Copies of this chain bind each other. A is one copy, B any other.
Amino acid sequence: MSKPTIDFYFDFSSPYGYLAAQRIDEIAEKHGREAVWRPHLIGAAFKTTGSRPLRDIPMKWEYAKVDAARAARLLGVPITMPPRFPFLSVAASRAYYWTFDHDPAAAKVLAKALYRAAFGEGRDISTVGSVVAIAGEIGQDSDALADAFETPAIKERLRDEVDAALDRGVYGSPFVFVGDEPFWGFDHLDLVDRWLETGGW
């Protein structure tokens, strides 16, 4: 059996993306794979689907708070909401792809640090300054990253990724593809595991 790619789409401002980020690598590794992390901007998809941020829909938001906290307790990870929510995830996503193009493993380390800061510690990660600071805290070259933010290339890179995600039908966070098979939502990770185990059904 060929080994399909595992693409993990998420928005840095998504609590369910944060939760999925705690599990996706373990699931991939269990099956001898590596997940490719692909931050996107859920707001771009909202323009297409007409959806709004969870927080703007009181009934859904009330439920999501209960549900996400319950999932976090089961995973044994902290979850908190950053002071501003939803927040802009453009800077975090740009930093991710710029880092990825130099060192994919370092990009994943950065992504985990950003998510931990936002939803583990409730810190603001919406500004270039905060993202650069977090890269520095984990020993990455924050000066080079800060310089990269001054170039148009870092913007174009993310725009292309966001467009590609939309073309692929990614309208939420998290969204996982195993080869061409799509799985939406944190709650689908067990199904992703099963799909990898069985090769599909």
Q: When the two chains form the complex, which single residue of B51, B66, B182 contacts A63, counting CB atoms closer than 8 Å?
A: B182
**Is A188 among interface residues, defined by CB-CB distance under 8 A?**
yes
CA distance A123 to B128 in the complex (A): 56
What is the CB-to-nearest-CB distance from A81 to chain B, in angstroms, rounded to a whole number? 19
Quote the shortest CB–CB distance from A187 to chain B (angstroms). Answer: 4
The number of times this chain is found in the oligomer is 2
Interface contact B201-A70, CB-CB below 8 Å: yes
Q: Which residues of B contact A60 (CB under 8 A)?
A: 49, 171
CA distance A188 to B185 in the complex (A): 11
Q: Helix, strand, loop or mixed for chain A's interface? A: helix
Q: For the complex, is A149 an interface residue (Cβ under 8 Å from B)?
A: no
Is A73 part of the contact surface with B, judged by Cβ < 8 Å? yes
Complex-state Cα separation, A183 to B187, whole angstroms: 11
User: Given the complex of chains A and B, what is the CA–CA distance between A62 and B169 in angstroms?
Assistant: 8
A79 to chain B, nearest CB (A): 14
CB of A87 within 8 Å of the partner chain: no
Tell me the minimal C-beta distance from A180 to chain B in angstroms. Answer: 10
Contacts of A169 in B (CB 8 A): 59, 62-63
C-alpha gap A63/B45 in the complex (Å): 14
Report 13 cross-chain contacts, Cβ distance below 8 Å, ordered by A residue.
A45-B59, A49-B57, A50-B52, A50-B57, A59-B171, A60-B171, A62-B169, A63-B171, A66-B182, A67-B182, A67-B183, A187-B187, A187-B191
